[in-house]
Amino acid sequence: MAVEIRPAEAGDVEAIAALHTESWRVAYRGTFSDDYLDGEAAGERLRHWINRLRSVPRPDQGVLVAMEDGACVGFICIYLELEPAWGPLLDNLHVRPDRKGRGIGARLIREGLAWVRARGCFDRWHLWVLEGNAAARRVYEHLGWEPGERAIHIAPDGTEYASLRYTQRLEPVGAQSSLET
């Protein structure tokens, strides 16, 4: 069945939180503590997404979900004004591990970019990637993102980890970008 991408709704919170937890358990094993990933991550991610989509959604936040056969198989979360000097922030991009490699992430990024462009003229956007997440870094670099500054962040379990800020120049509307090729 085809994958449909649509804006997230308050009713998607549980599915998004479960997918976020599953993605972290696969991608961040060895970076975040096993106790956190196997224990409190599910509840913490659920509270996180309840806050984002139900309790205190930010007006500059965009969340899109990829749905297949009624199940959430991916999502993207973007903030327009969280770090304005860098342009919009692609804060989350997660695809269910068993659906990776099928273009869902690239489609979510394209739809996320369309959401950004519909809300203003930006010359770039950015994201943070765990330095040790080689698979994600390869995907972003393939899509035209460029690595930049390194920073230390703190995970919800208190673990410190290194991240790289990736940026991507946004072509004027109508110009072809690497996301569209």
* Residue 179, H or E segment: none
pLDDT for 39 beyond 50: yes
Identify the pLDDT of residue 70: 94
Tell me the average pLDDT across 108-130. Answer: 96
Nearest-5° angle of CA 123, CA 20, CA 151?
50
* Beta carbons of 94 and 74 less than 8 angstroms apart: yes
Measured CA to CA, the distance from residue 60 to residue 128 in angstroms comes to: 18
pTM: 0.91
pLDDT for 158 beyond 70: yes
pLDDT for 105 beyond 70: yes
Cα–Cα distances (Å) from 151 to 50, 59, 82, 102, 148, in that order, read 28, 27, 16, 31, 10
Reported CATH class of domain 4-180: alpha beta
109 falls in which pLDDT band (50, 70, 90)? very high
What type of residue is 107?
R
pLDDT for 162 beyond 70: yes
Instruction: Give the lowest-confidence range in 4-13, 53-62, 159-168.
Output: 53-62
Tell me the average pLDDT across 59-69. Answer: 96
